[in-house]
């Protein structure tokens, strides 16, 4: 359904360092830099971080969340630990199982260096 997801940053170098560390826990290669943007390209999609092209400051989406798929609860925990170590803020409940209409999910939430809400998710067996 989606070709890519792009979020804004006010400091591309810091964002690259942060997301290289964070997404490395998901076995994603370091970003490719393209001028004012960085790209993480995988078989399942593209995640990009960009300085706004209109020259205005980047802001985070109120109510928006970007979710990253994980292979296990342990990978979610590594993602969360790497994010906190790289300067993210842990938000909501600690990493763990949440029961919802979609079944059991193992989730962790962070705010990145620019305030974007990001999530790691593993779907648990029913």
pLDDT digits (tens, 9 = 90+) for 75-122: 999 999 999 999 999 999 999 999 988 799 999 999 999 999 999 999
Running DSSP on this structure, what letter comes out for residue 109? E
pLDDT at position 3: 87
CA distances (Å), origin 78, targets 67, 71, 86, 107, 116: 15, 11, 12, 12, 19
pLDDT digits (tens, 9 = 90+) for 13-43: 999 999 999 999 999 999 999 999 999 999 9
- pTM equals 0.92
User: Whose structure tokens read 């300085």?
Assistant: 51
Which residues does 9 contact at the CB level (< 8 Å), separation at least 6?
Answer: 15, 49, 50, 51, 58, 113, 114
What is the side-by-side order of every strand in the sheet holding 45-50? 4-8, 45-50, 37-42, 32-34
CA–CA distance, 88 with 110 (Å, rounded to integer): 6
């Amino acid at each position: 359904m989606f070709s890519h997801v792009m979020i804004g940053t006010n400091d591309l170098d810091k964002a690259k360092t942060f997301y290289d560390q964070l997404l490395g826990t998901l076995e994603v290669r370091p970003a490719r830099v393209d001028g004012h943007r960085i790209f993480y390209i995988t078989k399942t999609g593209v995640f990009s971080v960009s300085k706004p092209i209109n020259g205005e400051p980047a802001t985070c989406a109120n109510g928006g969340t970007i979710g990253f798929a994980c292979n296990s609860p342990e990978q979610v925990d590594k993602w969360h630990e790497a994010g906190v170590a790289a300067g993210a803020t842990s938000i909501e409940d600690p990493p763990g199982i949440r029961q919802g209409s979609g079944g059991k999910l193992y989730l962790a939430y962070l705010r990145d260096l620019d305030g974007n809400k990001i999530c790691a998710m593993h779907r648990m067996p029913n």
